[in-house]
């Protein structure tokens, strides 16, 4: 609930701006938005290690398969190899980052873990999809 308007506000609302020009990749990204919203909805109620750890495990599982599918699709649409290599490196870094956060959470837990997880999700959704993944759309438009 928003304290000022009294309305329930979603952490992230999917909109056309997030689209990368492929329905299947878009629905996988929507799935990520759902995970982020679920996490945000529950974090106020259960400030514990279990919620953070479950969300992170869900994200790790999701990210590994999603990145593979996204990279395979990028090859299919003949996305330039140099750009794809850079994109793959970014995916690897995102995965490393989730593993580090997951490790820290198992040691520390608490509010810091919740904050780190939420910031990670936001960076991935907002920065990665809107900057890196959007480049796929530019490539498709050039064809």
Q: Which residues bind Fe ion (CB under 5 A)?
A: 133
Q: Is the dihedral of CA 23, 51, 3, 1 positive or negative?
A: positive
* Residue (32 or 114) nearer to Fe ion, CB: 32
* Residue (59 or 133) nearer to Fe ion, CB: 133
Q: Minimal CA–CA distance to 12: which of 36, 31, 28, 29?
A: 36
Distance of CA 5 to the CA centre of its chain: 28
Query: Taking the complex as a whole, how short is the minimal distance between the CB of residue 9 and Fe ion, in angstroms?
Result: 26
C-alpha dist (Å) from residue 135 to 7, 80, 84, 138: 35, 11, 10, 5
* Residue whose CB is nearest to Fe ion in the complex, by number: 133
Query: Taking the complex as a whole, how short is the minimal distance between the CB of residue 4 and Fe ion, in angstroms?
Result: 35
Q: Strand, helix or coil at 26? A: helix
* Residue (43 or 133) nearer to Fe ion, CB: 133
């Amino acid at each position: 609930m928003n304290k000022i308007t009294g309305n329930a506000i979603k952490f992230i609302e999917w909109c056309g701006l997030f689209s990368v020009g492929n329905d299947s990749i878009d629905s996988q990204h929507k799935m990520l938005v759902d995970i982020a919203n679920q996490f945000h909805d529950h974090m106020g109620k259960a400030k514990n290690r279990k919620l953070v750890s479950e969300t992170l495990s869900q994200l790790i599982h999701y990210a590994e398969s999603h990145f593979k599918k996204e990279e395979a699709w990028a090859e299919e649409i003949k996305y330039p190899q140099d750009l794809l290599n850079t994109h793959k490196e970014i995916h690897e870094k995102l995965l490393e980052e989730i593993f580090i956060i997951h490790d820290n959470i198992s040691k520390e837990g608490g509010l810091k873990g919740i904050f780190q997880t939420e910031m990670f999700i936001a960076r991935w959704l907002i920065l990665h999809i809107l900057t890196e993944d959007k480049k796929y759309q530019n490539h498709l438009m050039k064809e």
